[in-house]
Structures are given as structure tokens and as C-alpha cells.
Amino acid sequence: MTLDRLRPLAERGLDPFVGAADRIGLTPNGISVVAIGFAALAGGAYAVAGTELLGIGPIPALYPVGAAFVFLNGWMDLIDGALARRQGVDSVSGDLLDHVLDRYADIVVIAGLAAGVEAYLLGLLAVTGVLMTSYLGTQAQAVGLDRVYGGLVGRADRLAIIGVVTAISPAVTGPIAGYPPVGWLLGLLAVVGHLTALQRFYASMQALE
């Protein structure tokens, strides 16, 4: 995991955006809802980009559009917490809402990717890896440890990987070893997701001994 470690640095650069959001009366919970809206738009773009859906598609040019929505989702995810701290309204309930919406966001993005290439088994493996990674991170708190963010790939890394791969996907003219770039992306998310979950499980068990 690399990008999650840079979160404090990134948040220091958010001040102009957080200040603007505060001035126009936005709330952290409102921004969290906007964030999942971007995730839903990303999932829809990915689904239409790769296969026919509701009589339209495939439109490969929508992959970079989906990538932009993924990056916006990640950006909003940074702003909501920073805004809550600025407004003095950060709370356990807000943290819960943020984590629930983040998980739904992960689900709709990966579901869109899987639907776009009709790789539903890979999609299932990828989404379960993502959810188990998150579960092991927060379950540590339930047994009295600090929340665990370690492991191969955190959420920030995952969003960056998805965004970069899908942004360049239209430039790849054919399958690579029989699979399109998005198929390889789903396979990568499945492998690193479950490995990260196992890393967090091992670290938590070690801390409990």
C-alpha cells in the first residue's frame, strides 16, 4: 500500500476545496452522497463501454469517462472527512455512513467493470476481495485493535489502478493473452484484494497474541 500513506499530505492540499465547500454550505454527508453518485456513474459508463446495455454500446470511449468519475469519487472521499473536521461535526455516525457508502461505491464500480466485459466470476472474486479487505481493516477495531490500513493495496491505490487502466484501455487495440485490459484488471483486483485481506488478518492475529 502506498497512496493511503500519502493521505495526510493530500489532505493538506485540500484546504481551498474544503473552504469552498464550507462557504457554499455543503455538508460532509452531502459530499459522501455525491461521491457514491460519481461511483454509480463510473459503473454505468464501464458497463456501456464494454458491452451492449439497454440497446446501446459497446462504446470504448466511455472507459476514460468512467475513469474520471472514479477519480472524482476518490477526491470527494478525501474532502468529506476534511470538511467534517473543519466544521467540527466529525462523528462516529458520519464515519459509519462514509464507510458504508464507500463499500457500495466499490461494488457498483466493480460490477460495472465485470458487466462491461461479461466476466462475472472475475467480478465476484474482485468484489469479495475488496469487501474482505475493508472488513478485516475495521474488524480489528471490533476486537480492540486500531483500524488496520496496511497490506498490498488500500482503497486509494485501488481507485488509482482502476482509473489508470480504464483511462488507457481504449488505446489497447486487442486482447492481451486472450483477455482485454479490464479482464486483467479484475483479475488483479481479485488477487491483491484477497492477499491484502489475508495480510490484515495475519497482522491482527499477531497483535492479539
Express each pLDDT in 77-109 by its tens digit. Answer: 888 888 888 888 878 888 888 889 999 999 999
pLDDT at residue 78, as a whole number: 85
Convert the pLDDT of each residue in 25-79 to its tens digit. Answer: 888 888 999 999 999 999 999 999 987 766 776 888 999 999 999 999 998 988 8
Q: Tell me, what's the pLDDT at 88?
A: 82
Beta partners for residue 53, in sequence order: 56
3 state SS of 176: strand
- With 0-12 / 13-18 / 19 or more C-beta atoms within 10 angstroms meaning exposed / middle / buried, residue 93 is exposed
Cα 153 → chain centroid? 11
DSSP per residue, 195-207: HHHHHHHHHHHHH
| DSSP structure class, residue 4 | G
Parent domain of 72: 3-208
Domain count, the chain: 1
Selection from 12-16, 22-26, 151-155, 156-160 with the highest mean pLDDT = 156-160
- The structure's pTM equals 0.88
Q: List C-alpha distances in Å: 166 to 70, 140, 175, 186.
A: 10, 33, 14, 11
The CATH number assigned to the domain holding 197 equals 1.20.120.1760
Extended beta strands in the chain, E state? none
Give me the pLDDT at residue 11, please: 62
